[in-house]
Amino acid sequence: MTIVLLGYMGSGKSTVGKILAKKQSLEFIDFDDYIVENEKLSIPEIFKQKGEIYFRKIEGNYLKQLLQDNKDAVISLGGGTPCFGNNMEYILKATPNVFYLKLTAEKLVERLLPEKEQRPLVKDIPNAEMLEFIRKHLFERNFFYLKSPNIISVNDELPEEIAVL
Ligand code: S3P
């Protein structure tokens, strides 16, 4: 069984995914880490040295490579993974166990402010403009995220409480 977690940066996909995998005795795969291991470069370095277009291209290729095996695993995707090319269609065809961890823009800003530096897409946004940026970005991305057959609204629950899916 493959379980896929998706959602905006900072929505807790990896934290929840790890707990869920343990509970279900499944392997846990962090898709960003999978890309990093294969490319032998960190995500910020890939963006810096090769640019976002390159990143999106390899992200799509690795996604297909990873999902085609029908692995027994919980896979937490990158925030942008479902939002490019035909990735979301591919995900939906690969497994019905797709979960969108949905948080408000306000909650996401709260979580992202302390860890902006590791996130190439938001690191240069001034703190005072983060809410406006994320509101708009999330609105655009929800077009893809909301195709998920399962939507988990996350408020103040602990990751352990969310991982009971
Ligand atoms: C991205 C999210 C990141 C990573 C890359 C791009 C995005 O993953 O894939 O920085 O486009 O939202 P996380 O959601 O795991 O931070």
* Protein residue with its CA nearest to atom 8 in ligand 1: 78
Please tell me the predicted confidence (pLDDT) of residue 144.
98
Count Cβ neighbours within 10 Å for each residue of 36-73 and write b for 16 or more, e otherwise.
eeebeeebeebbeeeeeeebbeebbebbeebbeeeeeb
Per the structure block, which two tokens stand in for 129?
């403009």
CATH of the domain at 28: 3.40.50.300
Please tell me the predicted confidence (pLDDT) of residue 162.
86
Mutate to test the pocket of ligand 1, among 121, 125, 134, 154 (most ligand atoms within 8 A of CB): 121
Please tell me the predicted confidence (pLDDT) of residue 118.
87
Q: What is the pTM of this model?
A: 0.96
**What is the value of ipTM here, to two decimals?**
0.98
Lining ligand 1 with CB less than 6 A are 9, 32, 43, 78-80, 119-121
Please tell me the predicted confidence (pLDDT) of residue 61.
98
Query: How many domains does the chain fold into?
Result: 1
Q: What separation in angstroms does the CA of 150 have from each of 3, 126, 145?
A: 11, 33, 10
- Contact by Cβ (8 Å): 90, 96: no
Per the structure block, which two tokens stand in for 120?
């190439």
Closest ligand 1 atom to the C-alpha of 59? 9
15 is in an annotated binding site: yes
* Protein residue with its CA nearest to atom 5 in ligand 1: 78
* Domain assignment of residue 152, given as a range: 2-162
Please tell me the predicted confidence (pLDDT) of residue 155.
86
Instruction: For 89-145, write each residue's pLDDT tens digit.
Output: 999 999 999 999 999 999 999 999 999 988 999 999 999 999 999 999 999 999 999
